[in-house]
Structure 1
Amino acid sequence: MSDVSSLLGEQVSVKFSGDVIFEGILTDLGQDILVLFNGIKYYYIPWMHIHMVYQNNELKEKIKNPLQPSITQEMETISYRKILSNAKGIFSEIYVTGNITFHGYIMNVMSDYLVFYSPVFHTMYISLSHLKWITPYNHKVIPYNLSDESLVIHPFNNPLLRSLESQLKKEVGKLVIFDGGTDPMKIGLLNKVENNQLELSVASGENVYLKLGHIKSVHLP
């Protein structure tokens, strides 16, 4: 960590899963997360997905230091879970897979997943091990320019179980959509959840079997 900490306050490039490269000022870091400011907003990126951090002296555009504080400002030490907890209730963008980002609010942080409320998808479960980054919006941003009447965040009143596997067992017998619904083989009726495996009946009636560890997001239509 000492080598990376020498780059605090410097303009760096961060390469992480999927060969995605972000450029910005390294404003903070912890044991399992770093904070990058790209000139417009902060990105909170878990270390588990970072492949490389380096100072890129060839960057043409100089990024100005942030005027607004990050959500880590009052933390003595930062961590992935602390940042997720501090982001609760702030309209945010999160990225988990492919070319899809989800926009909404963190409602609860559980052992290995978080409960996320999206105005589009409504209640979602997001695997913590697959969340690549989160960036909270400015407090003045109104999601999708929705009116107060349209933007109603429905509280999740049902009891939540600590693990994603246990929570999904409660959803057996319901239609589910995994990973944003871009793959038709990940949309269907959830038949069984057992031993880190899922049995799903897709539109054709065929049963497919998925490994829970590879599921990045879940929502129920």
Structure 2
Amino acid sequence: MFLLKDVFSNALMRPPRQLRMVGKGNWRVVYGYNEKMVIKLADAPHGNEALMSTLFPSITAEVVWQGKVHVAMQAGPATELVTFYGLVQKRSELAVERFKSMGKEQIKEFLFYVGAVLTWVESKNVSICDVGPSNLAVNPAYADPPRLLLVDTQDWYQAGAQRKKGFSGMLRLAYSVCPEDLAPAYHHVLRQQGCAIHNGELATTFNRDTNEASPGAVDATPR
């Protein structure tokens, strides 16, 4: 598969860039775009992934472009062109790959940290869907402790009264996690990522009322 135009400038690529697959989901295929980004191609729009990237920039892999993409299935001027819905996202490293260099206690601490992050997201009236090993990534720029970057958030939605509670095993874990169980380094990471509820504390339960004002309130709305 070959990309004929740069998605950012719309300029012709000479020669066309060959796209090499680096991953695959239920309905999307991921290809390397360059050393810093990947491009996801699908037959349908990419849901809320770009929206969630905007709402939660500190904990999601950044979406930098989306739109329709025309690709050639083979090299050569007479090849057939196929149109896909494209989404370009910054590269991340799957957490399971990082686990290979971590001890069991380090992995447990990381999963408690993931639980606290997901609890905080739920406290923002966002229903989390599709959380598993293929969705938990880390920022390659940080080594110890690793920083979570969530990918494939296209099925998340701003739920209001229609939210789904305890959608996955990871959320059930998050429901029971308290920040006191976290290593001190992760307390620092969570605060740097802005994962605090309205009074500045780390979220520990679902459905915190973030609309109630409180003394010394901290605005934890993602920027």
Q: Report the structure, 1 or 2, having the larger strand content.
A: 1
The verdict on a shared fold, with TM-score over 0.5 as the criterion, is no
State the structure with bigger RCO (CA 8 A, min sep 6), 1 or 2. 2
Q: TM-score range by the shorter chain?
A: 0.3 to 0.5
Q: Report the structure, 1 or 2, having the larger helix content.
A: 2
TM-score, with length taken from structure 1: 0.33
